[in-house]
């Protein structure tokens, strides 16, 4: 078992590091403070291939593994958590389109998505269907060869700025089996966007409600078959959980690096505070947790790439563990800065704010525990190893 990354992976990592250090990190604080949509940076990311990392190469994607993609997202997140998180959402949608849309729809949207010419949002959550996504009520009713889409989605990242939407809607009866996935042009007549939510973090990407009022969607923009939407959504979320865990991982690594630099420079009682054993123990624990989190992400990504029967469980475990642990690392890194960590002149408070939501989205960490426990109990009280 070789835990080292190969030469090709190293090349991707170095490209991500360069982009993060030159384009993301210098602008992240401004994007956050001004709630600025970093469109130019997102477009530039598309030019580098970062908008179609694991999308079908037939439509301009790189066709990378989830493990390779996680390496890239990890290092992008060291530059800007929020922008990287938006890129992960876009990649999830791009993968779904290039994997499950028909040839006509892929020809229309595929290369525009993988290149970043079009940016995309993922629309699952509703006002009364959060963790219980199978109870969603947004409807898509057949009208000739088209669908008429009616309903509302909330907490949609990029809403009002993105070009296309993947929308989960009910085309059949109650429950998961009645849900289908539709690719919708965000400029379609009948779509309206709510106010931009005033959030704790993730300020560099807008989050809005989207309302659909008899929006006409061509029937050929159905992803997969009718009734497969919930299954496709869950497949998307397996990868999405690895992605968001990876965003936490990159953010925590940057927070720890910043803390390490600070404690070596900051002096109290006549010596660098790194000389005090209390801080040394803190740094040791943070680094240990970071390495453990990284191995969990890469294991889950490997299991997903291998189509392991328990891949969903591994993704849930990674998402639960890594987002919790990496949030704690960011919080402890802030503590190392003392009062300066609470001041916006330093990035520590932004790391904490931006990583906090990772424990909620892509399925709350409480839901991750439900998924894990259900699998264990279904296996006849057999642990997952």
Q: Please give the average per-residue pLDDT across 36-55, as a whole number.
A: 97
What are the pLDDT digits (tens) for 72-127? 999 999 999 999 999 999 999 999 999 999 999 999 999 999 999 999 999 999 99
Q: Which of 114, 144, 169 lies at the terminal end of a domain, its last residue?
A: 114
Measured distance CA(61)–CA(52) in Å, rounded: 5
**pLDDT tens figures, 199-218:** 999 999 999 999 999 999 99
Tokens 């010419």 belong to which residue? 117
Q: How far apart are CA 20 and CA 114, in angstroms?
A: 19
Predicted local distance difference test score (pLDDT) of residue 84: 98
How confident is the prediction for the chain on average, in pLDDT?
Answer: 96
Task: Return the number of other C-beta atoms located less than 10 Å from residue 266's C-beta.
Answer: 15
Backbone angles phi, psi at 152, to 5 degrees: -140, 145
For residue 81, what are the contacts with CB-CB under 8 A and spacing of at least 6?
A: 28, 201, 202, 247, 250, 251, 350, 351, 354, 355
Distance (Å, whole) CA 265 – CA 180 = 56
Which of these, 229, 377, 374, lies nearest to 316 by C-alpha position?
A: 374
C-alpha 197/C-alpha 368 separation (Å) is 26
Domain check: are 244 and 358 in the same one? yes
Residue 19, judged by CB atoms within 10 A of its CB (0-12, 13-18, 19+), counts as buried
Residues 261, 306 within the same domain: yes
Same domain, 234 and 372: yes
Whether 368 and 239 map to the same domain: the answer is: yes
Long-range (24+ apart) CB contacts under 8 A made by 372-380 are: 372/313, 372/316, 372/317, 372/320, 375/310, 375/312, 375/313
Task: Inform me whether the pLDDT recorded for 379 exceeds 90.
Answer: no
At residue 381, the pLDDT reads 64
Query: Same structural domain for residues 283 and 364?
Result: yes
pLDDT in tens, 248-290: 999 999 999 999 999 999 999 999 999 999 999 999 999 999 9
Domain that holds residue 185: 120-227
140 within some domain: yes
Is residue 322 assigned to a domain? Answer: yes
Q: Is 104 helix (H, G, I), strand (E, B) or coil?
A: helix
Please give the pLDDT value at position 221.
Answer: 98
Using CA atoms, how far apart are residues 350 and 352, in angstroms rounded to an integer? 5
Q: Do 25 and 55 have their domain in common?
A: yes
Which of the listed residues 44, 79, 114 is the one where a domain comes to its end?
Answer: 114
**Average pLDDT value for residue range 359-381:** 91
Same domain? For 203 and 270 the reply is no
So what's the pLDDT on residue 385? 76
91, 114, 137 — which closes off a domain?
A: 114
Quickly tell me which residue has 């993922």 as its tokens.
Answer: 122
Same domain, 210 and 249: no
Q: What is the mean pLDDT of residues 142-161?
A: 97
Q: Are residues 200 and 290 in the same domain?
A: no
Q: What is the dihedral of CA 221, 226, 229, 231, to 10 degrees?
A: -140
Helix (H) or strand (E) holding 186, with range, is: none
pTM value > 0.75: yes
DSSP string computed for 296-341: HHHHHHHHHHTT-TTHHHHHHHHHHHHHHHHHHHHHHHHHHTGGGG
Q: Is 58 a catalytic residue?
A: no
DSSP lists the bridge partners of residue 170 as 139, 179
Are residue 125 and residue 217 in the same domain, yes or no?
yes
| pLDDT reading at 384 higher than 90 | no
Distance CA 126, CA 313 (A): 25
Task: Check whether residue 183 and residue 315 sit in a common domain.
Answer: no
pLDDT at 383 over 80: no
List 111, 126, 228, 362, catalytic entry: 362
CATH number at residue 81: 1.10.540.10
Q: What pLDDT shows up at residue 3? A: 87
What is the tally of structural domains in the chain?
3
């Amino acid at each position: 078992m070789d835990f080292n990354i190969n030469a090709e992976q190293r090349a991707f990592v170095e490209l991500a590091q360069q982009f993060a250090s030159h384009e993301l990190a210098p602008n992240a604080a401004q994007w956050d403070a001004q709630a600025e949509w970093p469109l130019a940076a997102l477009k530039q990311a598309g030019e580098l291939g970062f908008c179609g990392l694991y999308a079908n190469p037939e439509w301009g994607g790189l066709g990378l593994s989830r493990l390779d993609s996680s390496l890239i997202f990890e290092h992008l997140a060291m530059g800007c958590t929020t922008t990287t998180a938006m890129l992960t959402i876009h990649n999830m949608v791009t993968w779904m389109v290039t994997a499950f849309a028909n040839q006509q729809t892929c020809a229309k949207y595929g290369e525009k998505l993988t290149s970043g010419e079009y940016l995309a949002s993922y629309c699952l959550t509703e006002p009364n269907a959060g963790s219980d996504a199978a109870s969603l009520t947004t409807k898509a009713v057949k009208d000739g060869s088209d669908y008429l889409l009616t309903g509302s989605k909330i907490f949609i990242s990029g809403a009002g700025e993105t070009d296309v939407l993947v929308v989960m809607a009910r085309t059949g009866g109650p429950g998961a089996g009645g849900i289908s996935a539709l690719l919708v042009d965000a400029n379609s007549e009948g779509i309206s966007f709510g106010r931009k939510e005033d959030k704790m973090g993730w300020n560099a990407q807008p989050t809005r409600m989207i309302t659909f009022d008899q929006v006409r969607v061509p029937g050929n923009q159905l992803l997969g078959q009718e009734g497969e939407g919930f299954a496709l959504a869950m497949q998307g979320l397996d990868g999405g959980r690895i992605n968001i865990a990876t965003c936490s991982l990159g953010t925590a690594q940057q927070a720890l690096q910043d803390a390490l630099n600070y404690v070596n420079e900051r002096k109290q009682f006549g010596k660098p505070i790194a000389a005090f054993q209390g801080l040394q123990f803190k740094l040791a624990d943070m680094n240990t947790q970071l390495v453990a989190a990284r191995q969990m992400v890469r294991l889950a990504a490997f299991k997903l790439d291998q189509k392991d029967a328990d891949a969903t469980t591994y993704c849930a475990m990674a998402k639960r563990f890594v987002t919790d642990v990496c949030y704690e690392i960011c919080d402890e890194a802030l503590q190392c800065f003392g009062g300066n960590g609470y001041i916006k002149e330093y990035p520590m408070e932004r790391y904490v704010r931006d990583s906090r939501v990772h424990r909620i989205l892509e399925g709350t960490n409480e839901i991750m525990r439900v998924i894990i426990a259900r699998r264990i109990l279904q296996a006849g009280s057999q642990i997952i190893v």
